[in-house]
Amino acid sequence: MKNILIVNSSISGEQGQSNQLIENFLQALTTEATVTRLDLNQQQLPHLAMSEIGAWMTPASDRTPEQAEVAALSDTSIAQVQAADVILVGVPMYNFGVPSQLKAWFDRIARAGITFKYTETGPVGLLEDKPVVFFATRGGIYKDLPHDSQTPFLKAFFNFIGLKNLHFVYAEGLNMGAESAQAALTAAKAQIGDLTSQLAA
């Protein structure tokens, strides 16, 4: 485990449970690693616009300064993903979905011809596979239930760009009383311990 990319999306900052679980993961590591941190609340990405897509489709040598600036949002995001050996993504549940700032990041790493392509037999992901760990924190209970809209979406999206070695750490029932929250966090930390050992092997 050499290079770790951390993507935080909790609007609660350091108090966010997904952020704290990621820190637990780092503390549980028994090997040294270089860590790149991306806090999507501190480094906010705008909603995707056609002008930005147009910049992607313009050869780099022909881009205006404005196009080069907006294209760099995607170029930098993709380069960070490509350079990482492991990606840790904090995914709190907001109104049954992923945080909008996280979706904005997804929109920057899905690039036709760079992270995926369409073929006669369907889409093909172009990213080199690597472990991606999602720290899914929820106020209620959703895992394996119809209302869990996050997990199928995350699997579909990351598989689409070539990342299939996916792991999920769930902490649910966090708003269902102190006892429920403590039990969920204890179970998540135990899973983190097993996962760090597995990924370091």
Q: Is 12 annotated as a binding residue?
A: no
Q: Is 77 annotated as a binding residue?
A: no
User: How far is Cα 100 from Cα 1, in angstroms, rounded to an integer?
Assistant: 29
Q: Is 165 annotated as a binding residue?
A: no
- At 2, is the secondary structure helix, strand, or coil? coil
Q: Is 94 annotated as a binding residue?
A: yes
Q: Is 36 annotated as a binding residue?
A: no
Q: Is 95 annotated as a binding residue?
A: yes
User: How far is Cα 69 from Cα 75, in angstroms, rounded to an integer?
Assistant: 10
Token pair recorded at residue 182: 């403590």
Q: Is 1 annotated as a binding residue?
A: no
Q: Is 93 annotated as a binding residue?
A: yes
What are the E-state strand segments in the chain? 3-8, 34-39, 86-92, 116-119, 122-125, 132-137, 166-171
Q: Is 138 annotated as a binding residue?
A: yes
Contact 74, 56 (CB under 8 A): yes
Binding residues: 10, 93-96, 137-140
Binding residues for FMN: 10, 93-96, 137-140
